[in-house]
Structure 1
Amino acid sequence: MVLPVLANKNSLHRRLRIVELVRKRGEVSVDELATAFDVSSVTIRSDLNYLEQQRYLIRAFGKARYVTQRPGENLLAAVPSSATRQAADMAIARMAADFIDDHASAFIGAGLITHKLLPLLADRANLALTLNDIAMVPTVQRFMRCELRLTGGSLDDDSTVLLGPDAERSLSALSLDLVVLEASGIDREGNLLCTDPRLAGVFKAALKNAKRGVVVAFQPTLQGEGEAFCHVSRLGGLVLDDAIDPPTLDLILKAGLDVHRREEGILEFCSK
């Protein structure tokens, strides 16, 4: 991809990186971009205006969305994201499953990706799994032969996730080899975030009594919204798609995690 030469090389470099980041994530807010590139929102809006004029992006409701030109048409169409998301989720789940060995006692926290890793554990021997999402139980029963527990806890209307003090207490009583949790975001201090504070409480209780923690995420938000449940420096592993900005990557590496494996669009970090 070539953009017209600009007088300011820094602006050119930033705009190229903006396009690449938005292409990978599909849609990114102005605030996220301003934080990612350490510039003002005014500067980002100027960049987006230019990139929209060049037909690389579409701006809508404070966000930038990547677009592509369909052959033979003069219309801008959003890049399909559902197939990409499903493929990324499975690749992340596959890497996360490799952390779980035979004979392990593991807590698998509620989440879309964590649910998808369960069938990938079908060949593990003598697993003891603890779950806090009732919807995961049929998947375990269909694909696995293992010891299965559910945490205590309460359910909200139309929810299958067990939350609250009872769930936290039941996890506090367990000795866990590993927990696998799903994050929705990461803040600038390196804290992994969960949108539901009650679920974050359950995750904290699980981590407290686990020998090792692994976190998965698809395009975690780069702002400080949500409840923190763990700092990346406490993790044994982190698996996420590669649509992360350079400052976030630097933060993860400085926290003591190294890139261990790379697949198409997916990164796996492990503690040193």
Structure 2
Amino acid sequence: MIGAKSAVLQRRLKIADWIRQHGQMRVDELSTALMVSEVTIRGDLSYLEEQGLIVRSFGKAIATKSAAPRDRPVSAPLTKALLVPMLRRAQSLIEPDQTVLIGPGDLAMQLIPWLAEIPGLSVLLANVAAIPLARACLDARVHLLGGEINAETGALEGAQTIRGLDHYPLGWTIIEADALSADAMLLLASKSAERLGEAALRRAARSIVLVGSQALSLERRAAHLPLAGISDIILPSAPSNRARDIMIDAGFRPIDSDGGTQAHFCSHRPSAERAARTAGEAS
């Protein structure tokens, strides 16, 4: 019961953050982004309105003037038109009979239902909030990494979480990044996400990074990952020429779209780098 209440509170805080950042959002946008019903969203908005954080108006929620912006803007939830092609492309890359790590973050978690169509998968979760979705959508072996649970996000973190990766033959790891930075780094939500990402990249045969924004960020953030060692980067739409050049200089090449809006960049370096590391460790 306590966990359920915490999940509801975290969802409502996230909604309040998004509306504060963007001024207003529609009920259907929030429903799609959070993967809950519009009825649930309306209940959340009623609560937030009672707290004086928003005003409801004709199917949308508007931030109140007293709701001051955060020091660091939160990422905008992707619309369904942008999100679905990203998830479809990621699904098309994952081969059957693999172990797939779903890293922390809402965007990574939304890939879970798409894995149901891939036979023989074992799915490894790094966030306790992903358990209900995995149980509801997957007829597959589902595992949960150990470690300390972050009270705010539900993500698993700490040394035990990193050591837990050693028990699984990772075929794929799914990482969520907020944006690509101008200094060729993928910006992550936290240092714990960075540590897990670094460890997973060392162990996985291939990796997919789902990037929440196609815009090149000028921010310098403590939590980040270099492009080296990543095999596939998927963005919601075509990036700027500068962002494209950064990825090409890092050894990526653009992949033609299958009709979706997403932009996909692939590198053939990671598998070779990983093979070299493995050979070095064996010697």
In the superposition, the TM-score normalised over structure 1's length comes to 0.65
Alignment partner of 1:269 is 2:272: no
Change (3 A) 1:127 1:163: same
Equivalent residue letter for 2:111: L
Q: CA deviation at 1:264?
A: 4.3
Which residue pairs with 1:121 in the alignment? 115
Which residue pairs with 2:92 in the alignment? 98
What RMSD in Å do the two structures reach over aligned CA positions? Answer: 2.3
CA distance in 1, matches of 2:91, 2:226: 21
Q: Aligned to 2:233, which of 238, 243, 248?
A: 238
Which residue pairs with 2:251 in the alignment? 256
CA distance in 2, matches of 1:158, 1:238: 27
Q: Where does 1:26-175 land on structure 2 (aligned, <5 Å)?
A: 85-175=79-169
Q: CA deviation at 1:229?
A: 4.6
Do 2:179 and 2:217's aligned partners in 1 also have CA atoms closer than 8 Å? Answer: yes
Q: CA deviation at 1:184?
A: 1.3
CA distance in 2, matches of 1:261, 1:165: 40
User: Identity over the aligned pairs, expressed in percent?
Assistant: 22
Q: Which has the larger radius of gyration?
A: 1
Change (3 A) 1:264 1:97: closer
Which residue pairs with 1:189 in the alignment? 183
* Cα-to-partner distance string for 1:54-112 (whole Å, 9 max, x where unaligned): xxxxxxx9xxxxxxxxxxxxxxxxxxx86x62321222111111121110111111222
- Please state whether the residue corresponding to 1:98 is helix, strand or coil: helix
CA distance in 2, matches of 1:128, 1:270: 24
CA distance in 2, matches of 1:102, 1:121: 10
In the superposition, the TM-score normalised over structure 2's length comes to 0.62
- Please state whether the residue corresponding to 1:234 is helix, strand or coil: coil
Do 1:261 and 1:269's aligned partners in 2 also have CA atoms closer than 8 Å? Answer: no
Equivalent residue letter for 2:264: E
- Please state whether the residue corresponding to 2:248 is helix, strand or coil: helix
CA distance in 2, matches of 1:264, 1:98: 13
Alignment partner of 1:198 is 2:209: no
Change (3 A) 1:183 1:240: same
Q: More displaced, 133-142 or 156-165?
A: 156-165
Change (3 A) 1:229 1:173: farther
Which residue pairs with 2:218 in the alignment? 223
Structure 2 segments unaligned to the other structure (5+ residues): 1-21, 24-68, 70-75, 269-283
- Please state whether the residue corresponding to 1:204 is helix, strand or coil: helix
Structure 1 segments unaligned to the other structure (5+ residues): 1-25, 28-60, 62-80
